[in-house]
């Protein structure tokens, strides 16, 4: 009897062991018959908590290409078209999509075609033009600030650093930029939005920049600016802004400024033409002397043409110089002429003329620019 009992207990233990080995989670759930083919019934879902995300395939189905959510279901023969769930389409597919779908950064209202990059870059260009006393490019005892309108105009007028447009060409793009920005309202918005950016960029460029100071008998000293040198930079830049404000204001207030600028440009064109005529006449004379050295009549005619061309150059140059002096008189409208070189004043007149030539209404924006340059001078003045 005892032996039978031991055998029974062993059988129970063996059965329990087999059950533990072959039992899998979910076997206790009722079995569900899976249809052999997909129908219009709802798609089967993966078990709760499962990481399996691939499409479920019915048993005994032939293997096929993986189906991605973006694929069209109508490519499979015999399957009905499934309409996308409107609610699911409205929801982001992932956390990244959810973040992207959030509210965008508010764009500055009332301004276009210009960004903070323009003012960051402009600040860097201006600071790079400062040469402290006893530095590599300035052996004097006073600092110098050098930046040229022509180089700045090439950088921002041709390369469009920090400027954008939607036009098909550079010429049309420049006109689009001026059309949108040369308005008092737009300039006011730009001033409010970007003047803090410009001032911060100036300060950062001064703090991080390095200048070379030659030292006798040793390698140059590479260092940043002292407090006194930074103050001198701001004093020089403040003076430049004041001079620019005075020059722009003088041009805007002078009734004959556009006409005098146009005359100056015309005399430049005539002087260039006179030079071309002389070069052509001189070349023709050389040809005549080489080809027909005995033809005195031809050589004389070519020589007379060359002499007339030389006389034309002298007259064109004289007219151009007179037009230049007449143009500079528009800046003598205050206590003194602005502290800018004559070449800078002439270049500024040409730039302003091109802006207002076909758009005389822009003169109000030019006056507004003068006011803002004057205000900038006060803001940059040390101790202000």
- Torsion angle, alpha carbons of 319, 324, 325, 331, to 10: 160
Per-residue model confidence (pLDDT) at position 31: 38
Question: What residues have CB less than 8 Å from 239, skipping those under 6 apart?
Answer: 339, 377
pLDDT of the residue at 338:
81
In angstroms, rounded to a whole number, what is the distance separating the alpha carbons of residues 364 and 361? 7
* Over residues 37-45, mean pLDDT: 40
pLDDT greater than 60 at residue 277: yes
DSSP string covering 196-245, please? HHHHHHHHHHHHH--EEEEETTEEEEEE---HHHHHHHHHHHHHHHHHHH
Q: Rounded mean pLDDT of 57-74?
A: 38
> Residue 335 — pLDDT band, cuts 50, 70, 90?
low
Name residue 213's beta-bridge partners.
Answer: 221
Task: Tell me if residue 138 falls in helix, strand or coil.
Answer: strand
- Residue-level pLDDT at 102: 40
**Mean of pLDDT values over 20-47:** 41
- CB distance 128 to 206 below 8 Å: no
**pLDDT on residue 90:** 40
Which pairs from 367-372 meet CB under 8 Å and 24+ separation?
A: 367/248, 367/249, 367/252, 367/253, 368/184, 368/187, 368/188, 369/187, 369/248, 370/245, 370/246, 370/248, 370/249, 370/252, 371/245, 372/187, 372/191, 372/245
Angle ∠(120,121,124) on CA atoms, nearest 5:
90
Q: What is the mean pLDDT of residues 261-284?
A: 97
Residue 298 has pLDDT above 90, yes or no: yes
Q: Which of 95-104, 128-137, 251-260, 300-309 has the least mean pLDDT?
A: 95-104
Task: List, in order, residues 6 or more apart from 159 with CB less than 8 Å away.
Answer: none
Whole-prediction pTM value? 0.68
The rounded mean pLDDT for the chain is: 79
Radius of gyration of the chain (CA): 41
pLDDT in tens, 175-213: 999 999 999 999 999 999 999 999 999 999 999 999 999
pLDDT at 304: 97
Contact 380, 241 (CB under 8 A): yes
Q: Strand 211-215 relative to strand 130-131: parallel, antiparallel, unpaired?
A: unpaired
In this predicted structure, what is the pLDDT of residue 196?
95
Question: What is the pLDDT at residue 334?
Answer: 52
Contacts of residues 306-313 at CB distance under 8 Å and 24 or more positions apart, as own/partner, are 306/278, 306/281, 306/282, 308/281, 309/274, 309/277, 309/278, 309/280, 309/281, 309/282, 310/278, 312/274, 312/277, 312/278, 313/271, 313/274, 313/275, 313/278
The structure tokens listed for 219 are 């390698």
The pLDDT-based confidence of 333 (bands split at 50, 70, 90) is low
Average pLDDT over residues 54-67: 38
Averaged pLDDT for residues 227-251: 95
> What is residue 250's three-state secondary structure?
helix
pLDDT recorded at residue 199: 96
pLDDT-based confidence at 72, cuts 50/70/90? Answer: very low
- Over residues 213-231, the pLDDT tens digits come to 998 888 899 999 999 999 9
Range with lowest mean pLDDT among 107-111, 227-231, 269-273: 107-111
- pLDDT tops 50 at residue 29: no
Q: Output the pLDDT for position 112.
A: 85
Using 50, 70 and 90 to split pLDDT, how confident is the model at 336?
A: low
């Amino acid at each position: 009897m005892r032996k039978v009992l031991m055998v029974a207990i062993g059988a129970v233990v063996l059965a329990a062991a087999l059950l533990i080995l072959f039992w899998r989670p979910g076997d206790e759930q009722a079995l569900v018959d899976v249809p052999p083919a997909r129908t219009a019934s709802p798609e089967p879902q993966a078990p709760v908590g499962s990481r399996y995300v691939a499409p479920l395939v019915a048993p005994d189905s032939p293997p096929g290409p993986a189906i991605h959510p973006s694929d069209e279901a109508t490519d499979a023969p015999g399957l009905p078209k499934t309409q996308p769930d409107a609610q699911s389409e409205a929801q982001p597919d992932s956390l990244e999509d959810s973040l992207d779908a959030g509210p965008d950064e508010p764009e500055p209202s009332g301004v276009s075609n210009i960004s903070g990059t323009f003012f960051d870059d402009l600040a860097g260009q201006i600071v790079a033009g400062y040469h402290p006393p006893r530095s590599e490019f300035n052996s004097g005892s006073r600092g110098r600030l050098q930046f040229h309108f022509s180089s700045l105009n090439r950088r921002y007028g041709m390369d469009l650093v920090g400027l954008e447009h939607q036009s098909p060409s550079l010429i049309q793009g420049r006109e689009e930029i001026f059309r949108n920005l040369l308005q008092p309202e737009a300039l006011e918005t730009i001033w409010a939005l970007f003047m803090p950016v410009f001032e911060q960029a100036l300060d950062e460029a001064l703090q991080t920049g390095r200048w070379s100071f030659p030292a006798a008998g040793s390698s140059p000293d590479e260092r940043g600016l002292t407090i006194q040198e930074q103050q001198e930079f701001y004093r020089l830049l403040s003076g430049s802004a004041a001079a620019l404000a005075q020059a722009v204001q003088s041009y805007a207030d002078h009734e004959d400024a556009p006409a005098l600028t146009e005359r100056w440009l015309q005399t430049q064109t005539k002087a260039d033409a006179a030079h071309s005529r002389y070069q052509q006449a001189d070349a023709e004379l050389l040809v005549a002397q080489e080809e027909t050295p005995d033809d005195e009549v031809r050589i004389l005619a070519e020589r007379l043409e060359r002499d007339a061309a030389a006389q034309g150059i002298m007259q064109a140059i004289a007219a151009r110089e007179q037009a230049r002096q007449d143009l500079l008189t528009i800046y003598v409208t205050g206590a003194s002429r602005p502290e800018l070189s004559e070449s800078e004043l002439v270049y500024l007149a040409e730039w302003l003329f091109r802006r207002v030539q076909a758009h005389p209404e822009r003169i109000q924006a030019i006056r507004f620019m003068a006011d803002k340059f004057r205000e900038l001078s006060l803001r940059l003045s040390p101790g202000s």
